[in-house]
Amino acid sequence: MTNIIENNMPAEILRPFLCIALGGNSFLLPFIDDYYKKNQWEYYEAYQKSSFKNNPLFSMYTTKSEEKIRQVAGMLEWSEQKQQFGVLDQLIKKGYKFVYQYIQRHKYIDFEHFMRSYAKRQKKNTVKEIGLLYHNIVLWYLCVRENKPFNQENVAWKSFQEVLNTSINEVEIQKTLFSEKIRDQHRTEIDDFYKEYHIQKNHLFDSLGLLLEALISSGLRKIHETHPDCEPIEAENRVFQESPAKYIGAIGGWLKTLNIHEMDATEQVSITKEDLDTIFLEILYAKKYNHLTKEEEALFFITCLYLKALGSLYHETKQLYLDQSKQDYYFEMKAKETFILEKETKLLQREKEFQLQNERNEKEIEGLTQELRAAQAKIRQLEQQLNETEDYSKEVHSLRHYVFYEEQSDQPFNSTTSMETMQHFIQTKKILIFGGHPVWQQKLRLSFPTIELIDVTEVNRDISKIQRADVVFINTKVFSHAFYKKVMKEVSRSDTPMYYLNGHNNMEKTIVEIYAWLTE
């Protein structure tokens, strides 16, 4: 019976292969570019902080492929952090539509059945091994993400896993094969190569060009040793016709054909003892596993040297394109972002301080407004009290004068001015007289029709004309207390002088008294 079990494979093995399956699909390249640009720096930052960074599996791919694989890795990391898988699903639907439909139609997954279904769907098209591998990887990922059980006991699943494990182990195997321990185990054989090619074991070659020149010089010495009579020009021609220098000339010529400046390329790369040990160890492996002959050995050696140079230059250019340029721009953008965030923080702090200060000011204004209202209310209250308070200053002043002149003699007002002159002067003034006996008022009115006389009985009469009079007189002989207070209040509000009259029945005495007060 087929054993269907829950998926329990480690996701850390699956995730890098999913990035490779999506990034390595040539059909998806333009879509990856479009999706990546929409959220470029968040994806880039997610990749930089993830376990994907410096993954040895990724670095084995070409520059363009690795760029896309890294971009997918950033999108995958971001999607898992945010638990938003829309972008990945779009890529899977476009690049692996059959996988997406297959997993929707089946409750559990059998990889053998899937591969047969996929091959059948291809009809006459050849099923590429790499394409089938990528489809299996995407199917595995969707099983894990959607928690779908799948058969892990059949041959198809086990073969699929062996391929992945081989890819994972290949990097470690390469490290082991060329480790210092293995080099030491083959030290005698490696040292024999140094002797064979006349290379000093501990010599540091600043560039591959110096090593190639040393090999050519060694070939020239050998020619001169075996043919002492050989001319220098002939020796130089012969050295590029004999091993190993002839391969230097041949491969160098091919590099020129490829539009690569041979001398520039070889001068840019240094060759260390470890590099030479590794190349000689690779020759031993090629002789053992690939049956490399003695005649082919020199060609393989020179080829390895040139490939080492081109590989170093390739990885340097790749690193500059994939890492350095983007990293510099990323750090520049992060610095600007940090600067903007600091500015925003300061602005928010200033805004908060402004709001707090504004709140304090508003409270202070509110307090001052209340105090102002209270003060204004107090002012109105005092004004009202002031208005209600009687001003006795003029009254007291007038009374003092009146009493003073009354105490002087029986004739307090003596004047040498003629009666006619006094009458004429009095008539030039706007005079208001309150009180007095009606008979007295009648006599005065006959003599001075310009003088306005107000009877004490007219309590409700408007007396604001006091403001416009030249002088106010009060006849104390006949007067009411209530009217007196009303007159005093109005007089206190004006600048009009006020005097008291004795109220003589003798009109001449009254005229003299009025004149005296006016000319005081």
Instruction: Summarize pLDDT for 130-144 with one digit per residue, the tens.
Output: 999 999 999 999 999
User: Percent of the chain at pLDDT above 70?
Assistant: 90
Say what the pLDDT of residue 2 is. 38
Query: What is the residue-averaged pLDDT of the chain?
Result: 85
Between 311 and 411, the more confident residue is 311
What is the reported pLDDT for 87? 95
What sign does the CA torsion over 45, 46, 51, 56 have? negative
What integer pLDDT is reported at residue 344 of this predicted model? 87
List the single range of 40-49, 182-191, 198-207 with lowest mean pLDDT.
198-207
Domains and CATH numbers, the chain: 11-176 (no CATH), 180-317 (no CATH), 419-518 (3.40.50.11230)
Average pLDDT over residues 444-452: 87
State how far Cα 405 lies from the chain centre.
Answer: 94
pLDDT for 413: 56
Overall average pLDDT of the 457-480 stretch: 81
Distance CA 66, CA 69 (A): 5
Mean pLDDT of 387-410: 58
| Cβ–Cβ < 8 Å for 73, 19 | yes
Residue 467 token pair:
């403001």
Q: Which residue has the higher pLDDT, 93 or 377?
A: 93
How many CA atoms are closer than 13 Å to the CA of 470, on its beta-carbon side?
14
Phi then psi for 349, rounded to 5 degrees?
A: -65, -45
What average pLDDT score do residues 146-157 get?
A: 89
Distant-in-sequence, close-in-space partners of 384: CB < 8 Å, separation ≥ 6: none
7 C-beta neighbours (distance < 10 Å), count: 17
For residue 386, what pLDDT band results from cuts at 50, 70 and 90?
low
Which conformational region is residue 291 in: left (phi greater than 0), alpha (psi within -120 to 50 degrees), or beta? Answer: left
Q: Which helix H or strand E contains 480, and what residues bound it?
A: none
Taking the C-alpha atoms of residue 500 and residue 473, their distance in angstroms, rounded to an integer, is 6
Give all strands (DSSP E) within 79-226, no chain letters: 150-151
Residue pLDDT, tens place only, 210-259:
999 988 888 888 888 888 888 888 888 888 887 788 898 899 889 999 99
Whether the per-residue pLDDT at 438 is higher than 60: the answer is yes
pLDDT number for residue 393:
59
pLDDT at 4: 37
Look up residue 332 and give its two tokens.
């520049």
pLDDT one-digit tens code per residue, 355-375: 888 888 888 888 888 888 888
| pLDDT for residue 479 is more than 80 | no
User: At residue 285, does pLDDT exceed 50?
Assistant: yes
Higher pLDDT, 450 or 410: 450
